[in-house]
Amino acid sequence: MFLSKTRLRTIAALLTASSIMLSGCGSDEEQQQAQAPATQVKAMKIIQKDTPLSREYAGTLVGIEEVKVQSKVSGNVVEKYVTGGQYVEQGQLLYRIDSRQYESTVLQAQAQAAETEVKLNNARLDLARYDALMKDGAIPEQQATAQAATVRSYEAALAANEANIKLAMENLADTKIYAPMSGQLGVDDVAIGTFVTAGQTTLVSLGMHDPIFVQFSFGESDYLEFMNVKSMQSEHNEIKVSITLADGSEYPFQGKIVEVDREMANSTGSLIMKAVFPNPSGLLMPGMFARVKLTGEVIPNATLVPQRAVQQLLGKSFVMVVNKDNKSEARTVELGDQIGSYFIVTSGLTANDTVVVEGLTNLREGLDLNVTTVTPGEMGFTLTNLTSTYDEDSNIKAAKDNPNSPNNLRAK
């Protein structure tokens, strides 16, 4: 049986329509993805190189030697030879306390010693006479022995009197107060007529300002990272210390760490360090605030990723990598120190990876990419302007503020 040409044309039309309907049952998303053009992005290769670190901390300047000048004797101040804020040399006379009662004590102690010395001499003469009479049998031995004990008693009394004389003369000498070291006086100096109590009243404070300490502290995690990086340093890498003053100026002299506390403070959980700085002009004063910068540490062969490439989601850090199929791939990374325009990556990336640095807005995983390769210079990335140890909260905020680093990363 042969079909007519008209019937054949009808069957062909039905088959064509059926094919179109079956093809419509596929994934709309796959069709849209297949038809969508590749996403335009800019990307750059990961940098791997020896990287210097810099850490910054808030610091306070403190004097190397700060003393409170106090009198060893009590009395009224009758002479004052300095003014507050004056620079003094070690041994310079500062104050004089009323000395009359101490002069009287010296005279009294000397008189008692003289009286005891007379008694001692008489006792010695009697002892010599008793010894002679005892040898002739004129007196009993017991009498001579008792006289010898009397002599020893007066000798002890004279020694005590001489000690009293020495103490009285020392107290008299202590009515003059001298500078225990060279330095600058505070303005807390007392006035003439002030009654001072021995060992309690501060006449004036005195400090040496050249050199001077800058004191700063950091937490336990910073300390552990500091020691970890320090263990990687060669013997030629010395940690250098510099400070920036409150007006933004950098102090022209470098310092060095000289003191490290032996334990973390229980109240703050921080470790105190001190660095010493020369202060020949006296510009630095105790109590001033300064920003302390530690440099000289180098992380060998560090892996660096631009900050712009880092996105944050639920406390985790991500970058979008261009994979071997030229598609976007989300990669979780662990971040270390922030250095200039970069983060040090401790895990999640290799030197062969290429990360997206521009075009991240609404970019999701698995999209075809049209990649324009850029260099750090073209993007304005730099390793300068080193900053302090990486702080996750601050960098999450930076990622939020960055229009190219949205927090709505959608990774499949």
Band (252; pLDDT cuts 50, 70, 90): very high
CA–CA distance, 188 with 204 (Å, rounded to integer): 6
Please name which of 2, 56, 46 lies closest in space to residue 387, comparing C-alpha atoms. 56
Which pLDDT score, from 0 to 100, does residue 286 have?
87
Question: For residues 209 and 306, which has the higher predicted lDDT (pLDDT)?
Answer: 306
> Does residue 161 have a pLDDT over 90?
yes
CA–CA distance, 22 with 351 (Å, rounded to integer): 47
Which pLDDT score, from 0 to 100, does residue 360 have?
87
> Does residue 387 have a pLDDT over 50?
no
Which pLDDT score, from 0 to 100, does residue 109 have?
95
* pLDDT, tens digit, 9 for 90 and up, residues 51-76: 877 788 899 998 888 889 999 999 99
Which pLDDT score, from 0 to 100, does residue 398 have?
38
Contact 318, 332 (CB under 8 A): yes
> Does residue 395 have a pLDDT over 60?
no
Question: Rounded mean pLDDT of the chain?
Answer: 81
Residue 383 belongs to some domain of the structure: yes
Coil, strand or helix at 147: helix
Which pLDDT score, from 0 to 100, does residue 152 have?
94
Q: What is the dihedral of CA 9, 12, 13, 16, to 10 degrees?
A: -160
- 82-91, 337-346, 380-389, range with greatest mean pLDDT: 82-91
User: CA of 63: how far to CAs of 214, 265, 292, 302, 328, in Å?
Assistant: 9, 21, 16, 39, 58
Residue 310 belongs to some domain of the structure: yes
Q: How many domains does the chain have?
A: 1
Residue 278 belongs to some domain of the structure: no
**The residue type at 6:** T
> Does residue 306 have a pLDDT over 50?
yes
Residue 374 belongs to some domain of the structure: yes
> Does residue 353 have a pLDDT over 50?
yes
Contacts of 131 (CB under 8 A, 6+ apart): 144
Question: For residues 237 and 29, which has the higher predicted lDDT (pLDDT)?
Answer: 237
Mean pLDDT of 142-156: 92
> Does residue 407 have a pLDDT over 80?
no
CA–CA distance, 171 with 254 (Å, rounded to integer): 46
User: CA angle, 271 as apex, 388 and 343 as ends, to 5°?
Assistant: 20
pTM over 0.75: no
Question: For residues 131 and 268, which has the higher predicted lDDT (pLDDT)?
Answer: 131
Mean pLDDT of 369-390: 74
Taking each helix axis from N to C end, the angle separating 141-173 and 100-136, rounded to the nearest 10 degrees, works out to 160
Tell me the residue range of the domain where 48 lies: 35-54+299-401
Mean pLDDT of 257-271: 81
> What residues form DSSP beta bridges with 411?
none
> Does residue 20 have a pLDDT over 70?
no
Share of the chain above pLDDT 70, in %: 82
CA–CA distance, 294 with 118 (Å, rounded to integer): 74
CA–CA distance, 127 with 145 (Å, rounded to integer): 9
Residue 325 belongs to some domain of the structure: yes
Residue 117 belongs to some domain of the structure: no
Q: For position 325, which CATH number holds?
A: 2.40.420.20
> Does residue 5 have a pLDDT over 50?
no
In terms of DSSP bridges, do strands 369-373 and 39-45 run parallel, antiparallel, or are they unpaired? parallel
**What are residue 82's phi and psi, to 5 degrees?**
-135, 170
Going by the DSSP 8-state scheme, the letter that residue 189 receives in this structure is P
> Does residue 208 have a pLDDT over 80?
yes
Mean pLDDT of 377-382: 86
Give Cα 274 distance to the centre of its chain: 6
Mean pLDDT of 304-323: 88
**What are residue 122's phi and psi, to 5 degrees?**
-65, -40
Long-range contacts of 219-227 (CB under 8 A, 24+ apart): 219/269, 219/270, 219/271, 220/264, 220/269, 220/270, 220/271, 222/55, 222/389, 223/264, 223/271, 225/336, 225/337, 225/389, 226/55, 226/297
Question: For residues 42 and 297, which has the higher predicted lDDT (pLDDT)?
Answer: 42
Burial class (CB in 10 A: 0-12, 13-18, 19+), 88: buried
> Does residue 411 have a pLDDT over 70?
no
Coil, strand or helix at 391: coil
> Does residue 132 have a pLDDT over 50?
yes
Residue 274 belongs to some domain of the structure: no
Contact 276, 29 (CB under 8 A): no
Residue 103 belongs to some domain of the structure: no
> Does residue 138 have a pLDDT over 50?
yes
Which pLDDT score, from 0 to 100, does residue 34 have?
53
- 7-16, 39-48, 101-110, 291-300, range with greatest mean pLDDT: 101-110
Which pLDDT score, from 0 to 100, does residue 4 have?
47
Band (49; pLDDT cuts 50, 70, 90): confident
Which pLDDT score, from 0 to 100, does residue 233 have?
64
Contacts of 252 (CB under 8 A, 6+ apart): none
Find the length of the chain. 412
